[in-house]
Structure 1
Amino acid sequence: MERFDRALYKTVQYHPSLCYGIVDKTPDREAHFLRLKVVYKEDVAEFCGQTQEEARQNDDDSSTIKLLEKSHARILSEGHCKPAWRVVVFKHGGQWGSESQQLGQSVQKLSIAFLASHAIADGLSHTNFHKTFFHFFNSSQPEELVWPYQVPRDLRCPILLEEVVDLQARDENDNTHINYDSTNIWSGANMFLPSIEEYESGLRLVNLPLAQLGKVLQFCKSYKITLTGLIHGLLVTYLSRAIAPGHMFRAVIPYSMRHITKVADDEICNHASALVVDSPDELASAIRNTPTNSSQELKLIIGIATDYRRHMAAELARSPKNNVWAGMFGIDDWYGPSLSQLGKKRALTYELSNFGNVEVIESDKLQDAPLSLEKVLVSQCGSVTGPVFCCNVISIPGGPMTITLTWQKGSVEEDIINNFAEYLTERLLAGFDSVSQKE
């Protein structure tokens, strides 16, 4: 436990954003970051495990899914005295303070979840937290550190995206106005939130082994498409067959703006924007008119991926001009309009984020490291007013690719999510070479 305490202390010390709370808006003051005087370990670190019966009934993935579903329903409150994040360490096969029940294993398996408000952390920031934590945990340099962490008075604030880049910049090619009132977008159930206590978030996990991931990436390379584009194409294809005719699909696909803001690669911040991509009903009809898993269907998938790559290249070339964030400036009241959306139709079908292949543990420290890494996954709570579901993709060197699907329970039939998880697994495991060779 001393090693954990030291690594967490050093991680907090390294990242300024971890020393700030978020104070909600009041009638007298805007919502704001608050530099805390101290960070207490008991405020940010939690430890949980499972009984022998729970271990028998749930494999490791199922246990992690339950942990994340529960975590996604939490509210990180008390921003006036606690940071806007938590780290939860889950012990598989036993309870803390007891012997592990993972029979036949000489090592203890843990799931370490970093929970954070989106205001301080985008998806890459979550991997950055783990990078820093693993670095200090696996360091062989003992150091006397005493909790709580005393926050320096001159500590800088979190670096806000709008303060380092002009998000309202426009040019003559600005055509980013989006009609969010389109009636034929498939967007699940109308927005709802009976109460904060009744909110539930679902999660499904897809694993793709390293060997098969390599084959999928080689296929993408041969057709000059990206993995993000391929998964986007599979999403559109699945929805075209699973959803009743007469609907289009609208995706939001985030991308990092760190190349523009010039923050450090390991910074914990929220520096991301997004591209909105429409898949019209005509495309869905064309997909439905092709045989399943046929070469004709694959051509359409590749076409979707090719179009995505072209649109994203144009978006990145002009960024930050014509940015989707521009429409959010000048809004004085966020609460009223947000509440007024309840009961209305959602504007988005899904969000797709691909973080790529991320090195969490330095390659030169893999051997004999006391804490090793099996896989990483990124997830987010199901959105109340945003897309019906979110799809997050990530892999690590030498490890599998993971895909998480998250949604607000009740916003969509769970069979649609479950069947899509099965569809993704089957298509990615089967590969595409045999289909493409039929052309």
Structure 2
Amino acid sequence: MDQFERLRPVGRLEKYSTARHQVGFYLNLAVAATYTLPNESTRPIKDYVFKACAAIIEEHPILSAIPAADDTQDPYFVRLPTIDLDQVVQFTQREQNSSSSTSTGDYDLSPDLDLQTILQSEHNKPFSAPNPFWRLHVLLDKEVNSRFTVALILHHALGDGTSAKSFHLSFLRALRSPSDGEISHTVETPRIPLLPNIEDIHPMSLSFWFLAKKIFQAKIYSPTDPGLWAGSKIQLPISTRIRLVPFSKKLVDHLRNACRQERTTITALLQTVYARALFMNIPKSFSRLNCTGAFSTRRFLPDIITEQSMGVYVADIEESYTRSSLFANDSVTFPWEETRRSRETIQAALDRQGADTGPSLLKFVNNYQEELCLSKIGQNRDKSFEVSNIGAVVLDEDPSLPCIQGMAFSQCASVMGNAIGVSVVTGGDGCLVVSLSWQDGVVEDDIMEASIETMKAELHSLAFRE
């Protein structure tokens, strides 16, 4: 790495992902988007993709950076002088008939199985220097030449889920700009500094009571709850399984209206619904589920960081659900009061503006690989599932311009984190896609398949409630 320009040190939150990747505990995240070009577009899809990539590399300097010395406690970013797009971008012809989730009714969609297969494969592939720590897998539509799906696979030290969504908005802007000129396959990287890491621009403060609680749990006493379900013990190797579950715009609109009436949000609803779905499909001896969530801290940061910035600017929330609270009366009556409680938990975290969250505790870690990862092997995990919603993409509907239709946000399994990942995004077509990920051998396939069907059935029921 000595031949590359040395940039700034890797920040603590970035180092958390660098360490997890280095020991094989978490490999990457992905956001995919389906694009449609106007009818007058005549160049090969590859030209449009390469042109957009060159523009995005120029806009986001983190895409030219890779972590060096990632096996130490002092990693730093270096800049790649050039990026060979032929090495970064892979093109695959679809096997299915359409790149859009196909309709099976006004409110039902079938999943994009080609994309699901690609994402499952990509989530099991790590990055290696001196290659870039991001890549694209492009699915070409066999029916419509002007339609294609771009899956961005990203190392979490380079960006979070919002960053991956921002990549696609930059990609769309590049598609909409004039495309004259020669298309280069080798891009020279911009000589501009990286954006600062979060701890350099945010206090990441900890209250006395929050810190005292965490120290007590870590050093003195943290009782094991025999009623907690969190999959099997922490184990290697990682092998990610993925399922994509799409919901139509009509159904999502109904759910959003129901949430407004009940004074809650889609994210809180999804947390509650999936907790109920799990309880219905795991043994009744389990009485508690622990849920975590992630939210962007960009709204609390200086103006240098915006919603369009690529970097790692996230914090976490914690929530728990009990079987008795979710099924207080019977299995049919939905507990909207639990969704309101979940919304209040999320809002309280937002009100703290990034204070008292897990990332702030990283300052007390001496050895990221050993303390946060390797020492956990063989232990019980304490987190059941995570819901991470990166929101909706809202675009103008101009048929004369390239546009984004469906999207999907997914993550690889987390070896020492939640047993199940529930990642959510709403595309430009208004359809919401839930991506579920889990580690092979940690959660049984029949639990996953049954919980997915239960979740789908309950969301349909809530959308069309009287």
TM range (shorter): 0.7 to 0.9
Distance in structure 1 (CA, Å) of the matches to 2:78 and 2:210: 39
Deviations 1:360-415 (A, max 9, x none): xx416x3123x443300100001111100111111134431111111111110111
Report SS of the residue matched to 2:287: coil
TM-aligned CA deviation for residue 128 of structure 1 = 0.7
1:187 — aligned with what? 230
1:413–1:289 Cα change, 3 Å = same
Q: Where do residues 9-408 of structure 1 align in structure 2 (5 Å cutoff)? A: 9-26=54-71, 30-49=74-93, 61-78=112-129, 81-92=130-141, 102=142, 105-107=143-145, 109-144=147-182, 146-153=184-191, 155-170=192-207, 177=214, 179=217, 182-184=224-226, 185-194=228-237, 199-244=238-283, 245-262=285-302, 263-279=305-321, 283-288=322-327, 290-294=329-333, 298=334, 300=335, 302-337=336-371, 338-359=373-394, 362-363=395-396, 366-369=398-401, 371-408=402-439
Deviations 1:90-147 (A, max 9, x none): 224xxxxxxxxx4xx3445432110011111111111111111121123234244534
Report SS of the residue matched to 1:329: helix
Structure 2 unaligned residues grouped into runs of 5+: 1-45, 103-109
Deviations 1:207-266 (A, max 9, x none): 111111111111000010111111111122222222222431111111110011231221
1:9–1:275 Cα change, 3 Å = same
Q: Which has the higher contact order (CA 8 A, sep 6+)?
A: 2
Deviations 1:242-301 (A, max 9, x none): 22224311111111100112312211111010111122xxx313544633323xxx1x2x
1:171–1:142 Cα change, 3 Å = farther
Structure 1 unaligned residues grouped into runs of 5+: 93-101
Deviations 1:326-350 (A, max 9, x none): 2211322122231121111112101
Say if 2:404 and 2:428, in contact at 8 Å, map to a contact too: no
Distance in structure 2 (CA, Å) of the matches to 1:85 and 1:242: 36
Report SS of the residue matched to 2:291: strand
1:430 — aligned with what? 461
Report SS of the residue matched to 2:404: coil
- The AA in structure 2 aligned to 1:162 is E
- The AA in structure 2 aligned to 1:163 is D
Distance in structure 1 (CA, Å) of the matches to 2:311 and 2:213: 25
Distance in structure 2 (CA, Å) of the matches to 1:52 and 1:318: 47
- The AA in structure 2 aligned to 1:7 is A
1:176–1:214 Cα change, 3 Å = farther
Q: Which has the higher strand share?
A: 2
TM-aligned CA deviation for residue 433 of structure 1 = 5.2
1:412 — aligned with what? 443
Say if 1:84 and 1:117, in contact at 8 Å, map to a contact too: yes
Say if 1:219 and 1:433, in contact at 8 Å, map to a contact too: no
The alignment's TM-score, normalised by the length of structure 1, stands at 0.84
Distance in structure 1 (CA, Å) of the matches to 2:223 and 2:181: 58
1:385–1:84 Cα change, 3 Å = same
- The AA in structure 2 aligned to 1:12 is I
Distance in structure 2 (CA, Å) of the matches to 1:252 and 1:412: 17
TM-aligned CA deviation for residue 52 of structure 1 = 8.7
- The AA in structure 1 aligned to 2:187 is Y
Distance in structure 2 (CA, Å) of the matches to 1:406 and 1:66: 13
- The AA in structure 1 aligned to 2:113 is S
TM-aligned CA deviation for residue 84 of structure 1 = 1.4
1:26–1:250 Cα change, 3 Å = closer
Distance in structure 2 (CA, Å) of the matches to 1:233 and 1:115: 29
1:26–1:206 Cα change, 3 Å = closer
Distance in structure 2 (CA, Å) of the matches to 1:415 and 1:17: 40
- Larger mean CA deviation between 176-185 and 106-115 belongs to 176-185
Say if 1:201 and 1:408, in contact at 8 Å, map to a contact too: yes
Count matched residues: 402
Distance in structure 1 (CA, Å) of the matches to 2:272 and 2:195: 36
Distance in structure 2 (CA, Å) of the matches to 1:50 and 1:396: 20
TM-aligned CA deviation for residue 175 of structure 1 = 7.2
Say if 1:241 and 1:288, in contact at 8 Å, map to a contact too: no
Say if 2:51 and 2:179, in contact at 8 Å, map to a contact too: no
Identity %: 20
Aligned CA-pair RMSD: 2.6
The alignment's TM-score, normalised by the length of structure 2, stands at 0.80
1:72–1:52 Cα change, 3 Å = closer
Say if 1:240 and 1:285, in contact at 8 Å, map to a contact too: no
Distance in structure 2 (CA, Å) of the matches to 1:68 and 1:176: 38
Say if 1:181 and 1:347, in contact at 8 Å, map to a contact too: no
